Amino acid sequence: MKIIIYMNNIKENFPILNKKIDGKKVIYLDSAASSQKPYSVINDIKHTYENSYANVHRGIYKLSQMATDKYEASREKVAKFLNVKSSKEIIFTRGATEGINLIASSLADSFLNQDDEVIISTLEHHSNIVPWQIAAKKTGAKIVELKPDSNGNIFVEELIKCITKRTKIISLPHITNSIGSILPIKEICLEAKKRGIITLVDGCQAAPHVEIDINEIQPDFYVISGHKIYGPSGIGALYGNKEWLEKLSPYQTGGEMIDFVSIQKSTYANIPNKFEAGTPNIVGAIALASAIDFMNEIGINKITEHSNYLTKILYEKLKSLNYIRIVGEPERRLGIVSFLVEGSHPHDVALLLDNRGISVRAGHHCAQPAMRHFNVDTTLRVSFGVYNNEEDIDNFLINLKDIVKYLQ
C-alpha cells in the first residue's frame, strides 16, 4: 500500500493525535513505553484482514499463499532494516521481552553451567533481568552486575573489569529505557567477541531513533519490539546469529516448528521456523513491514537528527529550572529525559499534566535497580516520537510551570 507522509505536519499521519480527550488535544510524550500508529499501519492491518488473511505456510490454496508471501516479505524487510544478511536469522516474536526470554531459556537448556557468569547492567529493563535470574536458578550460573557511574554512563573499561574466565554471556541495552543513555554497544560486542563471550543487545529504545546495523555491531542476538517503532503491539523480532540459532533448542513447541512427529520423539524444522511455534501474529508481522516503510519514508537519519534536537532542547530547558532535578546525566542520551519536580510526587505531576491533555510517564519504568542507583523510587519521564515537535515541548513546559505554582 502507498504511504503518504505529511512532512509539514507529521502529526496528520497519526489519527489519535488529531482527536480530543475530554476536550483537549493529545500531546503524547510517552513513546518509550509505546508509540502511536500511523494511518499506513492501521490501514494495512485492516487491508490484510479484508483481503489476504489466512494461516501461513500450511495451505496450498491461494489465500494462504498470499498471506505467506506477505509474512515472509516482512521478514525480509526486518532483515534489511537491521542490516542482516539472511532473513533466516530473523525470528518473529511477541516482542523484545519474548525474544530475551527465548534466548535466556534456550541458553540455559544447552549452554550455561554451574558457576558460569552472565553480565547485565544496573540500568536494565526488568525484561533483561528476570529471564537471566531464571536461567541462573536453573543452571547454577551467577549474575554479575555492571554498574554505571553516578551519571548513568556505562563504559567499556568498566565492563572489561567485570569479565572473568567464567563469563559466558553479556546482555545489555543499546539505549536505556529509564534515562536514555546510549551505550558503546559496538565496542562492547567487539570486546566480547575477542573473548568468545555471547552478546545479546536489547534494541527497543534504539530502533525508533537510530539506524541499526547488525553487520557493524556484530552481536550474537539483538531484539526489537514492533510497538516501539510505530507498528502494532504483540509483534517483535529477534536477530540471531545463524550458528547459534541452529545449535539452540526450541523455546516453545508445536505447529510450524516441527519436522517429524511420532509418539516417542520429534525432529524440528530449520530456522527460522524452529523458533516460531503455533500460529504466529500474521497480521502483526505484515503490519510491522508497513511501520518500517513509514520510518524509511521519513529517513532514519532525519529521525535521528529530529530525536537529538528534541532531546537536547528539553534537557536544556528543564535544566534551567531550579525546581527540577534531572535524573541521570549521561554523556550521550537520546529520546528520553527523566526528572523530578522538587517537593512533588511524580504521579501527582503526571496526573495534573494528563488533565491538560499531556501524556508523560511516571513510575519506575520497569527499571527498579536503575531507580535505586539514582536514589529515587520513581521519576517523571518524557520520551519522543517522530510526531513530536518543539511546540509540544513548549506546551509541556508552560503547563508544568503552572502546575508547579499550583502545587506549591
Query: Among all residues, which ones are annotated catalytic?
Result: 366
DSSP for 150-191 reads TTS---HHHHHHH--TTEEEEEEESB-TTT-BBP-HHHHHHH
DSSP for 53-79 reads ---SSS--SHHHHHHHHHHHHHHHHHH
Tell me if 164 sits within 8 A of 174, measured CB to CB: no
Neighbours of 110 (CB within 10 A): 9
Question: What's the grid cell of residue 192?
Answer: 566480547
Q: Tell me the longest C-alpha to C-alpha distance in the chain.
A: 71
Which DSSP state fits 295? H
Q: In what order do the strands lie in the sheet with 198-202?
A: 90-93, 236-240, 221-225, 198-202, 167-173, 117-121, 142-146
Question: What's the grid cell of residue 408?
Answer: 506549591
Q: Please, what is the end-to-end C-alpha distance for the chain in angstroms?
A: 52
Q: How far apart are CA 208 and CA 292, in angstroms?
A: 10
State yes or no: cis peptide before 280, omega within 30 of 0: no
